[in-house]
Chains A and B, each alone.
Chain A
Amino acid sequence: DAGVTQSPTHLIKTRGQHVTLRCSPISGHKSVSWYQQVLGQGPQFIFQYYEKEERGRGNFPDRFSARQFPNYSSELNVNALLLGDSALYLCASSNDRHNEQFFGPGTRLTVL
């Protein structure tokens, strides 16, 4: 079975630009959560989507948005990028809202 996949692996953007990150959950899993991990820190929760609806939101500005598609894949969008948005963005897959979360390899975003 394929695990959680994310694309792209690495991304370099400049301040003010927009970025879209993509995630495909484990087959059969209906929940996707997004986390931001800054170097040297634990992951910080951004969003959870379950059955295509937003079920949880972390303390991030409105520049961050996400959605989940009928096939349960998900996109994370970040507008008006700031230098501080540079981080590893992790997607986690779960078969429902409250069970184990399995992480993808992440997308390393660098904002110059």
Chain B
Amino acid sequence: GENVEQHPSTLSVQEGDSAVIKCTYSDSASNYFPWYKQELGKRPQLIIDIRSNVGEKKDQRIAVTLNKTAKHFSLHITETQPEDSAVYFCATGGYNQGGKLIFGQGTELSVKP
């Protein structure tokens, strides 16, 4: 069945270091891969997304890479700041999935000053 595995579940880094979160998925028909940031008690916020015709996308300190052959994609945050601390979710979507996004289990990122 459809499944998205996300690792690690928790990640602690020092301010200024880089953070990497990885996701693997099972449905080869997936062609849309968004990442959401959710701060405590707040809504998930779309921070970056990538489609299957692109291998990498960057937006300032955030980048996402996609390997469709291996069915995995990753979020890279450089020069981390304390305000990056939150839970990050990866998700997959596709034209054949009726608008459904399938989410990973989340990664709690803690950036220590």
Contact = CB atoms under 8 A, between A and B. Distances in A.
Contacts of A101: 34, 46, 101
A48 B103 contact: no
Contacts of B105: 41-42
Nearest to B4: A42
Contacts of B91: 42
A102 B47 CA distance: 10
B43 A106 contact: yes
A21 interface: no
B43 A104 contact: yes
A100 B49 contact: yes
Contacts of A27: none
B42 interface: yes
A48 B43 contact: no
Contacts of A41: 105-106
A32 to B, nearest CB: 9
B54 to A, nearest CB: 15
Nearest to B93: A98
Contacts of A35: 101
A70 B103 CA distance: 29
Main secondary structure of the interface of A (DSSP, over half): strand
A48 B101 CA distance: 10
B103 A42 contact: yes
Contacts of A102: 46
A56 B100 contact: yes
Contacts of B100: 33, 45, 48, 56, 58
Given A42-B89, A100-B49, A55 B99 contact: yes
A11 B6 CA distance: 31
A98 B45 contact: no
A72 interface: no
Interface of A: 31, 33, 35, 40-45, 48, 50, 55-58, 90, 92, 94, 97-98, 100-106
Top 6 A-B residue pairs of the complex, sorted by shortest distance between their CB atoms: A56-B98, A42-B103, A48-B99, A45-B100, A103-B43, A97-B99
Interface of B: 4, 6, 32, 34, 36, 42-46, 49, 89, 91, 93, 95, 97-106
